[in-house]
Amino acid sequence: MPKKPSDILFQLILSLEKAEKRHFKLYITRSSGNEDLKIIKLFDVLDKMDAYDEKVLIKKMKGVTKPQLSNLKSHLYKELLASLRLLKSNDSLDLQLNELFDSAHILYKKDCFFKVFVQ
């Protein structure tokens, strides 16, 4: 019997440890200033599901249409990755170097890079 297709966001949420879930909720409420967000509700609903079922998900997310759900899931996925990157950045030299490179790239594009090092 073929395995039912599963959602990658659902798999990511299931793979999170308790501390990572807590960190995400703190991260998202801190960055938005609002604790009653659809993104947190979606996270909680997916976290409590045993198996991914989009029909059940839409029923539990009252007031959210299917196209909105797609956008909300995409936003949640990006925010989860950002939260994990922030949480794990101290543990990984690669992540720290990438972050420094990204910062240098942004400063270079803003013509601030050379001004910092030339002075």
49 and 107 both lie in a single domain: no
52 and 34 both lie in a single domain: yes
- Token pair recorded at residue 45: 């609903």
- Token pair recorded at residue 51: 């198996």
In the chain, where do the E strands start and end? none
Confidence of residue 115 (pLDDT cuts 50, 70, 90): low
Contacts of 57 (CB under 8 A, 6+ apart): 45, 46, 49, 69
- Please count the structural domains in the chain: 2
Model confidence pLDDT, tens digit, residues 35-71: 568 999 999 999 999 999 989 999 999 888 888 999 9
27 and 61 both lie in a single domain: yes
Domain of 117 in residue numbering reads as 92-119
DSSP state of 3: P
- How far apart, in Å, are the Cα atoms of 33 and each of 1, 27, 66, 79? 46, 10, 26, 15
Confidence of residue 76 (pLDDT cuts 50, 70, 90): very high
**3 in any annotated domain:** no
**1 in any annotated domain:** no
SS3 percent helix, strand, coil of the chain, rounded to 5, is: 75, 0, 25
